[in-house]
Amino acid sequence: MSSLRQNLQAQRTAETPVSSVTAEERQAALLIFLWQGASWVLPWAQFLSARLAGDRLELTFAHTAVTVTGQNLTGLLDDVAAFRLSCLRDLPADYGRKSGEGQPFISRIEVRSSSPESRDSPG
C-alpha cells in the first residue's frame, strides 16, 4: 500500500479534518496530486489566469489548464492571486465529510497539457 494511501487511511480513522488544499506563504510552484497517483509541479511564473464558476475553479498556465471541481472553492481565489496556494489534491467523496465545515474540498482535478510530450490526467 502506498504511503499516501496509508496516510489517507490513518486520516479516515482519525477525527481530524482532511484537507484537499494547502496554502502557505508565497510559493514558487503549485503541486497537484491526483488520488489515482499522477502528480504535477506547475510554476507560478507560468500562471496566466483563474476563473471561478460555481463549483469549478479553472487555472490556466502557459502550457497547462487545470480544472478543479469541489465545494467551498471561493476562498481559494485570494490564495491564487497571492501565489500562496502550494498544493491541491482530489479526494474520494467520502472524505468530504471530514474536510471541516466551510473548508474547500476537491472531488476532481483535471489537468490538460498543450505540449505533445505530456499526457492528460485520467478522468
The pLDDT value given to residue 58: 98
The pLDDT value given to residue 33: 94
Q: Does any domain span residue 119?
A: no
Q: Does any domain span residue 118?
A: no
Q: Does any domain span residue 43?
A: yes
Q: Does any domain span residue 77?
A: yes
d(CA 72, CA 110): 18
Of 96, 113, 111, 112, nearest in space to 21 by CA: 96
pLDDT digits (tens, 9 = 90+) for 30-59: 999 998 889 999 999 999 999 999 999 999
Contact 35, 13 (CB under 8 A): no
Mean pLDDT, residues 102-120:
80
Q: Whole domain around residue 103: which residue ranges? A: 3-113
Q: Is the pLDDT of residue 104 over 70?
A: yes
Q: Does any domain span residue 87?
A: yes
Confidence of residue 22 (pLDDT cuts 50, 70, 90): confident
Q: Is the pLDDT of residue 111 over 60?
A: yes
Place of cell 479534518: 17
Higher confidence at residue 28 or residue 5? 28
Q: Considering its fold, how many domains does the chain have in total?
A: 1
Q: Is 67 helix (H, G, I), strand (E, B) or coil?
A: strand
d(CA 66, CA 9): 27
* Strand arrangement of the beta sheet that strand 47-53 belongs to: 47-53, 56-61, 64-71, 105-113
pLDDT digits (tens, 9 = 90+) for 56-98: 999 999 999 999 999 999 989 999 999 999 999 999 877 766 6
Q: Does any domain span residue 121?
A: no
Mean pLDDT, residues 11-21:
60
Q: Does any domain span residue 123?
A: no
The pLDDT value given to residue 24: 74
